Amino acid sequence: MSRVFITQRIYPEGVRILEQAGIPHQMRPDENPLPTADLIEQARGVEALITLVTDRIAEDVFQALPELRIVANVAVGYDNIDLSAATRHGVVVTNTPDVLTEATADMAFALMLAAARRIPEADRFVREGRWHGWTLMQEQMGVDLYGRTLGIFGMGRIGAAMARRAHHGFGMRILYTNRSAAPAGLEQELQAERVPFERLLSESDFVSIHAPATPETRHVFTADAFRRMKPTAILVNTARGPLVDEAALVNALRSGEIAGAGLDVFEEEPQVHPGLLELTERVALAPHLGSATLETRTRMCVMAAENVREFLQGRRPANAVNPEVLAG
């Protein structure tokens, strides 16, 4: 009988970790999440789940799978898992931090550049045969990044990596809002200033979101937040969709309260607010590609499998997000 159920297809390097350790496992060949009832049925009796961010692992799953001891999420975020329910049932939850930091920061910066320099519009303009030569006042006039102010909402690993790219590569001034101050060395390196959220909004030319999805951060970017931003400001989100009130964002973009947006995540993925799809100027949209390089996604699968292997072999997994379960 399988000890591990892999809810969706992962890269073979991750599966190989289990094979080399002699751990029986079963992997679904599909790349779409199972309905909860089907997941429960297929995972009966297993000790470990390897899950993806599209899997919803809630109280009903933990109740129905009493043998379950660990859930290894192939992601740095774990808002798809009810962590309090897992802890109550004595189930360890792990994630895959660090490995996707640089790839996600690259994506955030790419979206910021794409929205600022209107790359999606320019691409369509050329492909549709509407470009008839260079002009001084071209239709796709963008804005500079160099020397502007970048506001980082959430100065964790990815936020810091984004700030480094901005400061060292583009000479940008860095403001940040975070629950706690960044290390003094990081602040000094980036000449970064920790400021209240309201000041971050009012002074930033670009605001990049890098905070986790929690009840406290849900819809932190509201209509009021957009009114506080500069009319020339651009919002970038590569964290989690629910941090942004998408209806309010659409209204802010349509009314000119802010100038643009670069979004890799959405409130109701894979559904996207229809208003965002209609906005074709200064808006860049991507299908949750933050960690989507072959090297990074492969390493995420390996790390999740390593977490499972270590736990099932009686060792402490490196990336437990509810370590109190291990102490019990």
User: Which of the residues are catalytic?
Assistant: 240, 269, 288
- Nearest by Cα to 62 from 95, 92, 32: 92
- Nearest by Cα to 95 from 303, 313, 277: 303
- Nearest by Cα to 181 from 192, 173, 171: 192
CA distance 215 to 208: 19
CA distance 311 to 50: 13
Consecutive H or E run containing 190: helix 184-190
Torsion on CA atoms 253, 287, 18, 5, rounded to nearest 10: 90
Q: Is 297 helix (H, G, I), strand (E, B) or coil?
A: helix
CA distance 249 to 233: 12
With both helix axes pointing from N to C terminus, report the angle between 101-116 and 157-164 in degrees, rounded to the nearest 10.
Answer: 50
CA distance 313 to 47: 12
- Nearest by Cα to 195 from 145, 160, 230, 153: 153
